[in-house]
Chain A
Amino acid sequence: MNRSEKHDEDNLWQYIDPERIEVAPENFTHTVMTRVRIEAKPSKIPGRIRTISFVPAVSGLVILILIIIAFVLRGDYQDAPTLFGLIQNIDFPVLNINLESLLNINLPVWIPYLFVGILILGIFDGVLSGLFQRRIR
């Protein structure tokens, strides 16, 4: 549809001057280019990935330590079998690892409490960080 056909259709054209154009301010290009240089830089994605992948590695390590402790510690009841002992009673062949020197390590009794404490603090920290990140977003 050309302009004259459009003109015939409605009265709004009499108020419109299509030749009239609002001109951008003088320093417009300069401002845009400054913003492009400052704001349009790529974000540091590799660093972020490293931080994120560090968390499961730590939690995996903690779980591994807890498993080892469960094998090693006997608790207050000396007669109670260790977890390793229970596994040995199961009627299927288990790898015979010489854990004697490991079993002789005399760990303080508060060690399991410490790890449980770390675990609880870790969960608490995770919940808090999730809450704050949601608020920032």
Chain B
Amino acid sequence: MDDSADIKYIEQILAGKIEAFGYLVDKYKNRTYNLAFRICCNHEEAEEAAQDAFLKAYRSLKGFEMKSSFATWLYRIVFNTAISYVRNKKKRMLSLEDFPVDATDFTGTDISEEEAVKEYRNALMNFALQKINEEERGLISLYYYEEMSTGEISDFTGISKSNIKVKLFRARQKMLDIIEKVEKNKLKYHEQV
């Protein structure tokens, strides 16, 4: 399905056919949910933020000028909604002890060692994401998970390209520090055991 299909559905929605919006929701639900999850770091909050974003998109569909693709326009709404959603919620500060100690903690009966390591790294990444602020989380998500360039992120967020680079650099450093501390903590734990 391409952009022209999106435009067709948008025209139907604007003509009063609400059901056509369901096609767009179904098409973009996973990517929007994924972006919301990276920023909210919580499934319940991500679902609520993604739903709110779709609602906002529906309400402001008349104002969509089709200068960018519908997907870019929608992700921008999701990005801003998720960030303001996190800002309005008071988050519990996580300590390093909150992180599962080892990749073996992820091993189950139906999961290979390789998959357990992947799960561990993913959990480690999500943990580090929770320790940085919501704007940095959003930028990390766009750069690493959505694989946008700094120029694309600049267009997307309205922040200058040089500022994006600085913010990304800081966020990256913070996350690597957190990951390093967790890894050291893990070693300490193993030494104690």
Q: Which chain B residues have a beta carbon within 8 Å of chain A's beta carbons?
A: 18-19, 21-22, 25-26, 29-34, 37-38, 43, 46-47, 50-51, 54-55, 58-59, 118, 121-122, 124-125, 128, 144-145, 147, 149-150, 172, 175-176, 179
Would you call B55 and A39 a contact (CB within 8 A)?
Answer: yes
Partner of B51, one of A3, A11, A13, A32: A32
* Number of A-B contacts defined by CB within 8 Å: 85
Would you call B118 and A28 a contact (CB within 8 A)?
Answer: no
Q: Which chain A residues have a beta carbon within 8 Å of chain B's beta carbons?
A: 1, 3, 6, 10-18, 20-25, 28-29, 31-33, 35-37, 39-40
CA distance A15 to B178 in the complex (A): 12
| Chain A residues, Cβ within 8 Å of B122 | 15, 17, 20
Q: Given the known inter-chain contacts A18-B144, A21-B30, A35-B51, please indicate yes or no for A40 contacting B59, CB distance below 8 A.
A: yes
Partner of A24, one of B21, B29, B59, B121: B29
Partner of B33, one of A6, A23, A40: A23
Would you call A14 and B121 a contact (CB within 8 A)?
Answer: yes
| Chain B residues, Cβ within 8 Å of A29 | 22, 25-26, 29
CA distance A29 to B19 in the complex (A): 11
Shortest Cβ-Cβ A-B pairs, 5 listed: A24-B33, A24-B29, A22-B37, A15-B125, A22-B34
Secondary structure at the A interface, as helix, strand, loop or mixed, is helix
Partner of B58, one of A15, A20, A36: A36
Q: Could you list 14 examples of A-B contacts with CB < 8 Å?
A: A6-B147, A15-B124, A15-B128, A22-B30, A24-B30, A24-B47, A28-B33, A29-B29, A32-B51, A32-B54, A33-B19, A35-B55, A36-B54, A36-B58
B53 to chain A, nearest CB (A): 10
Would you call B33 and A16 a contact (CB within 8 A)?
Answer: no
| Chain B residues, Cβ within 8 Å of A18 | 144-145, 147
Residue of A nearest to B32 (CB): A24
Partner of A22, one of B33, B54, B121, B124: B33
Partner of B22, one of A11, A16, A33: A33
Residue of B nearest to A34 (CB): B51
| Chain B residues, Cβ within 8 Å of A12 | 144, 172, 175-176
